[in-house]
Structure 1
Amino acid sequence: MEKEKRLRSNRDFRKVYKKGKGYFNKHFTIIIRKNKLQGSRVGFSITKKHGNAVERNKLKRRLKEIVRHNFNLIKEGYDIVVIPKQNTKNLSYQELEKSATHLLKISFKR
């Protein structure tokens, strides 16, 4: 994913957590907040409960690829934080993609 489409600074994450609206399903929680920028940005928050660094990075790489392929589902001008739940580390790529795209679709319907 390009740098412009990533949420990177701690300050930006805190803004989304504080003033964003949350949506969730069985495998993910996403928090969405309108931003004042041109494009949308996505960040990932994966805690140590998901395993060691290798497992966390694998999950993060998969999620980045899923978001990159489905970026058209995200409306322009939003900051998004994706938080996987603990049961996601054993899911296949297809199951992760199905769950993540479902959540993105329902969160931007309004």
Structure 2
Amino acid sequence: MEKKYRIRKNMEFKNIYKVGKNYWNRNLILYVKNNGLNETRVGYTITKKIGNAVTRNKIRRRMKEIYRLNFHNIKDGYDLIFIAKRSIVDISFEELEGSMIHIMSIAKLLKKR
């Protein structure tokens, strides 16, 4: 994913946590903030409580791939931060995909078909 579609700076993460609206389900927390740009940017947070580095990287790779596959269905102009909960370790790729789509639909980020 190109750099312009990623949230990279700690200050940006903190601002989204402070100002953004949050949504949650069993496996994820989603922070959303309107960014005033023509593209949607995304960031991922997986804490050390989830597991070791191998486990955290596996979860991050899965989340990035799910976002990449569904990128065209997401409205433009938002900053998104996905935060993994502990229950995410035991679920399959399909369940994680369903969970991410579910939380984005709750936040009304999906384009209407």
Give CA-to-partner distance per residue, 1:28-49, whole Å, 9 cap, x none.
1100000122211000010001
Q: Does 1:9 align with 2:9?
A: yes
Distance 1:95 1:80 in 2: 20
Offset at 1:72?
Answer: 2.5
Q: 1: CA distance between counterparts of 2:3 and 2:93?
A: 23
The separation in 1 between residues aligned to 2:72 and 2:24, in whole angstroms, is: 20
User: C-alpha distance in 2, partners of 1:106/1:2?
Assistant: 26
Gaps of 5+ in 2: none
CA contact (8 A) 1:50 1:56 kept: yes
* Contact 1:31 1:82 (8 Å CA) reproduced: yes
Q: Does 1:45 align with 2:45?
A: yes
Counterpart CA distance in 1 for 2:49 and 2:13 is 19
Q: Structure 1 runs of 4+ off > 3 angstroms?
A: none
Maintained 8 Å contact 1:74/1:108: no
Show CA shifts across 1:47-83 (max 9, x none).
Answer: 0011111110000000000011111332111001000
**Could you state the TM-score of these two structures normalised by the residue count of structure 1?**
0.94
Count of aligned pairs between the two proteins: 110
Which secondary structure state, in structure 1, belongs to the residue aligned with residue 49 of structure 2? helix
Kept in 2, the 8 Å contact 1:23–1:30? The answer is yes
Task: For 1:86-105, list aligned pairs within 5 A.
Answer: 86-105=86-105
